[in-house]
Structure 1
Amino acid sequence: MSSRSQLLSSTSSSSSPLSASKLCSQIHKNASQLFLTRRLPECLAALEPIITPPQDEQQQQHTNGDDRSSPPVAPIATVSGTLRIKVWNLYITLLSAIVDLGAEDGKRTFGQKEWKALVSKVRDGEIWETIVQTGYGGREGSVDADVVYNLATLLLNHSSSQTLNQQRLETYLSSYGQPDLDIAAHLQTSPSGSRRRRIPASGANTPKDLASRVRIVELFTLHVLPRNEEWDYAREFIRMSELLDEERKDVFLQTLDSLKEEKEQSCLRAAEIQREKDAELERQMQEEEWRRAKEAAAAERLQQDNGHKRTSSEIDYGIEKGHPNGAAKSRGPRSAEKLSGGKAVDPSGRTTFSPPPESSKNSKKVDKSHSRARQSRALITVLHNLLRSIGRTVSGNPMALLRTLLFMLGIIMALSRRDVRDRIRRITATSWQKVRGTVGMGVKVSYI
């Protein structure tokens, strides 16, 4: 690295373009080897001396018989067009590889600050201005076509917005073919200014140069402008371009239409996929709501069933406990031999009367008190369940209570009238006479 710096300083102090070309060629060869072996930091460090204007004060001491000094230029600006294109293309490819490293590998390889600066230089389009100012003296139209194509491709792949790329390509395409009015450049290329450093212009209108410019038009109209939704502008540019013949124009227009149709279909497919996702999400939400409603209904039904089961079991338990005689009937056959009033049947068949023992009287009193308590508890349970059932019915359907109250109020109002009461009394008396007659006939028939 120190030998390369010494070589660069010795070449910078010399005005021979041959020495600069030899230096650039040697550095390009070494940097290419470093790039192929993925030693990106070393490759960048090797290229920087020839693509950066020197800061040495000796570069500002070359005069042309006057006190004014020429501004320092990078060694790459004084070499031949072929070598210049190779160096700039290698530099652009190196920057693209550095951006492709990603955040983790880039920070580990170059450091966080340096890697972010390089990525920002590429994505913001600053690299384009740097190459124009450093290698071509700020003349946009003098940039080599291959370099412009690689710069546009770099921005197309790594820049989120293609606005700057479109502006740079428009400037380059509009400035191509116009006369160079830079007087300083003409003085540098004139015989009297032969001692000054000469910045060569781009290649002439050779077939290779024409093919490169056609590639730039293709990249501009079929890639950059469609990314900016400039379909009509791209179509008009193709029709009005002087670099394209009629056959290429037809091919470019067909390709542009195909790209537009493909993008529209892609947008339609994306919209359809989004609609399907929305419909699926809505269906899942509806299913979830239906499932929750079903679970809530099942839980409510289970709660009601448990309430009915508890009510039925409590009522049955109260009735069973309220009839102790039923339990007494299920006792053994010996209990049936006992008769009420202290009667008992001996083995000979005779009926004897014996006073009941005192313990049996006490037990009967206890049974009666227990029976009354059980009956009272059963009645209270029935009333409690009835009131709870009425409460649930009223809370679930308040209109039922209102209808019941209105019905009872109607009955009370009807019974408050004297003629209605007399009519009900006559109907009741007539019905009771019929019932008595029917019962009497039944008694006579049963007697007969």
Structure 2
Amino acid sequence: MPEDRVYPSSKSLSSSTSSLPLSSSKQISQIYKQASQLFLTRRLQEALSVLEPVITVSQPQDAQQNGDDESVPALAPIATASSNLRIKVWNLYITILNSIVDLGAEEGRRQFAQKEWKALASKVRDGGIWDTVVDIGYRGIEGTVDADVVYNLATILLSHSPSQKLNQQRLENYLSSYGLPHLDVAGHIRDSPPIKRKNRIRGTSGTDTPKNLAARVKILELFTLHVLPRNEEWDYAREFINLSEVLDEERKEAFLQTLDSIYEEKQRDVERAAEIQREKDEELDRQQREDEERRKLAEEQQQQQQQAERIQAEKALNGQHKRASSEVDYGIENGKPSALSKSRTPKSATKSRGTTPPESSKQLRKPERTQNPVRRQVRMFANLVVLLVKGVGRSIVASPMSFLRALLLMVGVIMALGRPDIRDRIRRITGAGWQKLRGTVGMGVKVSYI
């Protein structure tokens, strides 16, 4: 159907049918068609507005219009419509409200006012729609509601009501009062047109036609297999199926099997939910244990690292002390062995000379005299420099100041040796020392020889 088609509003429709009686089936049928077309194009607000005059209670009429002395109670136009038209109008009304609730809060506020959408949604979820249908369309008599309308009412509550207790109560009331005769014959005669008065007096029986039987079976299926299981009424549902007079044995067996399947599926869902929750709990516990283990491992690694750093620091401190003490020892050892070796050399020489003839001792002393004093001095100085460099290298780690003092000493020695007068003085002092040493050695040789 094209979207740009213009439909008359409820006001224009009412004005066009103003010549028809208020309870005219033709007027109600036109309104129903108009509302259906608007609903199919998803114009929900306009469809509801068009349909509302049919399901709204009219003003009281005086008794003179019917030729009676008593006034007629206020009724909605739908209450006097035919059964088929009444079922169509109420089913369309229920369907429109269901679509309005399905819009959701955001879209519902956009198409309707926020207050209006909340009122309609509450009317569906709280079960107020059931009271509206029974009170306006069926004069408050629960058992006279058409089975198709009851089925749609129970379905919309099953879809949107958070609790199915009200739905169960409504269906129980309907099933217990369905088919009971309505004894208000005077009301039927008064409210019915004269031509159809005979048909109006006839009471409704529960299963007088195949259509009513099929509708009753649908309601029983919805009640026992959907509403009661939602309320955890499993035993009550089985008992209701077994005691039902509408269901034959074959349908009872089918209903019981379906109910058992639903119960088993529900138990499996509960077990799956419990298993999933147990797995989640185990996973959470595992993650907590892993986090605790990682935390402990990190703490142990940190402690080990701190301990290793402490040990390394202690080793470094001990090494510095050892190097400092070894430097002093090496200085003593490097200074004394040279003197000891020098002192031992004449003794060994005297011992050897004591066992050899004088000629051999003269031959041994002869190369010493021929040696160049400068070369000996240079060799001693080189040894001194090597020992000094080694000592400086060992003392660098222990104390930078020692390295600086050694460097200054070396610079001072080099600068001193760079002056000719100092070199000559050192040479004279060294030569004099060697002369004294040779004299001492010679005296020792002579004494040993004698």
Structures share a fold, TM > 0.5? yes
Report which stretch shifted further, 241-250 or 60-69: 60-69
- Distance in 1 between residues matched to 2:214 and 2:196, nearest whole Å: 32
Q: CA deviation at 1:170?
A: 0.6
Larger Rg: 2
Q: CA deviation at 1:176?
A: 1.2
Give runs of aligned pairs for residues 347-426 of structure 1, distance below 5 A: 348=371
> Is structure 2 residue 41 aligned with structure 1 residue 32?
no
Q: CA deviation at 1:188?
A: 2.2
Change (3 A) 1:191 1:115: closer
Which position in structure 2 is the counterpart of 1:269? 272
Which position in structure 1 is the counterpart of 2:143? 141
Q: CA deviation at 1:93?
A: 0.9
> Is structure 2 residue 212 aligned with structure 1 residue 209?
yes
- CA contact 1:81–1:200 (8 Å) conserved in 2: no
Q: 2:102 aligns with which of 97, 100, 103?
A: 100
| Identical aligned residues as a percent | 56
Give runs of aligned pairs for residues 274-293 of structure 1, distance below 5 A: 274-293=277-296
Which position in structure 2 is the counterpart of 1:424? none
Q: 2:254 aligns with which of 247, 251, 257?
A: 251
- 3-state DSSP class of the match of 1:120? helix
- 3-state DSSP class of the match of 1:323? helix
For structure 2, which runs of at least 5 residues remain unmatched after alignment? 1-8, 344-367, 378-383, 400-450
Output one character per residue of 1:63-102: Cα deviation in whole Å (capped at 9) or x when no partner: 6555532222111111111111111111111111111111
Output one character per residue of 1:138-170: Cα deviation in whole Å (capped at 9) or x when no partner: 111111000000110110111110011111111
Amino acid at match of 2:12: S
- CA contact 1:143–1:201 (8 Å) conserved in 2: no
Q: CA deviation at 1:28?
A: 1.1
Output one character per residue of 1:7-51: Cα deviation in whole Å (capped at 9) or x when no partner: 46554xx36x5xx21111111111111111111111111111111
Q: CA deviation at 1:322?
A: 2.2
Q: 1:3 aligns with which of 12, 15, 27?
A: 12
Which position in structure 2 is the counterpart of 1:51? 55
- Distance in 2 between residues matched to 1:79 and 1:182, nearest whole Å: 19
- Distance in 1 between residues matched to 2:13 and 2:63, nearest whole Å: 23
Change (3 A) 1:40 1:349: same
Amino acid at match of 1:31: A
For structure 1, which runs of at least 5 residues remain unmatched after alignment? 354-359, 376-448
- Distance in 1 between residues matched to 2:323 and 2:201, nearest whole Å: 120
- Distance in 2 between residues matched to 1:105 and 1:60, nearest whole Å: 44
- Distance in 2 between residues matched to 1:147 and 1:330, nearest whole Å: 120
- Distance in 1 between residues matched to 2:14 and 2:370, nearest whole Å: 143
- Distance in 2 between residues matched to 1:76 and 1:201, nearest whole Å: 19
Q: How large is the RMSD of aligned CA atoms in angstroms?
A: 3.8
Change (3 A) 1:215 1:37: same
- CA contact 1:73–1:134 (8 Å) conserved in 2: yes
Output one character per residue of 1:384-423: Cα deviation in whole Å (capped at 9) or x when no partner: xxxxxxxxxxxxxxxxxxxxxxxxxxxxxxxxxxxxxxxx
- Distance in 1 between residues matched to 2:202 and 2:94, nearest whole Å: 20
> Is structure 2 residue 93 aligned with structure 1 residue 87?
no
Change (3 A) 1:27 1:64: closer
- CA contact 1:53–1:74 (8 Å) conserved in 2: yes
- CA contact 2:181–2:204 (8 Å) conserved in 1: no
Change (3 A) 1:24 1:347: farther
- Distance in 1 between residues matched to 2:147 and 2:339, nearest whole Å: 132
Output one character per residue of 1:362-394: Cα deviation in whole Å (capped at 9) or x when no partner: xx9xx9xxx9xx89xxxxxxxxxxxxxxxxxxx
Change (3 A) 1:112 1:329: farther
> Is structure 2 residue 162 aligned with structure 1 residue 160?
yes
- CA contact 1:152–1:169 (8 Å) conserved in 2: yes
- CA contact 2:179–2:204 (8 Å) conserved in 1: no
Change (3 A) 1:192 1:347: farther
- 3-state DSSP class of the match of 2:232? coil
- Distance in 2 between residues matched to 1:85 and 1:201, nearest whole Å: 18
- 3-state DSSP class of the match of 2:183? coil
Change (3 A) 1:33 1:251: same
- CA contact 1:99–1:119 (8 Å) conserved in 2: yes
Q: CA deviation at 1:191?
A: 7.8
- 3-state DSSP class of the match of 2:70? coil
Which position in structure 2 is the counterpart of 1:297? 300
Q: TM-score, normalised by structure 2?
A: 0.69
